[in-house]
Amino acid sequence: MIKSPKDLVLKYFKAVDDQDLKSILETMHPNCLFRVETHSIQLNGQKEIEPMFRRLWRNHKSVKHENFYFIEDGQTGSVAVRFNVVNSMHDGSLVFKSNCNFFTLDKNLFSEVRVYMTGENTLDKSDK
């Protein structure tokens, strides 16, 4: 059971790492706004968000999010989190990133996710 906004964020990242689309979508409102701010990407709703994750997993052997540092706004339920990402590529190489996400919650679900990532955009809108 999700007890706090931080728990919802951890559920989201675990689902991304586990390639569990159902659990990712369970953290989001159907009309969630998902923006990759550093790469001018905006996805409106789960129908646009779902293919983005499928591409992420198809383009990588695995992804792992770790070393979380949280800042929570107790009044609004919003959460900012800084973390590291290790992308394992199909050729065996590893790509290391330091990212920040900002999550806006409404009724214990994400209504907005804003992503700031270093390096190449791994959450692209189209296939490579």
CB-based contacts of 128: which residues, under 8 Å, 6+ apart?
Answer: 59
In three state form, how does the secondary structure of the chain look?
A: CCCCHHHHHHHHHHHHHCCCHHHHHHCEEEEEEEEEHHHCEEEECHHHHHHHHHHHHHHCCEEEEEEEEEEECCCCCCEEEEEEEEEECCCCCEEEEEEEEEEEEECCEEEEEEEECCCCCCCCCCCC
- Mean pLDDT, the chain cut into blocks of 10 residues (128 residues total): 86 98 97 95 96 94 97 88 96 95 95 92 63
Per-residue confidence (pLDDT) for residue 2, from 0 to 100: 67
Question: Residue 9: its pLDDT value, please?
Answer: 97
Q: What does the domain layout of the chain look like in residue ranges?
A: 5-116
CATH 3.40.50.970 fits 5-116, yes or no: no
Q: b/e for 29-49, b at 16 or more Cβ within 10 A?
A: beebbbbbebeebebeebeeb
Strand 109-116 to strand 62-72: parallel, antiparallel, or no bridges (unpaired)?
unpaired
What was the pLDDT predicted at 128? 46
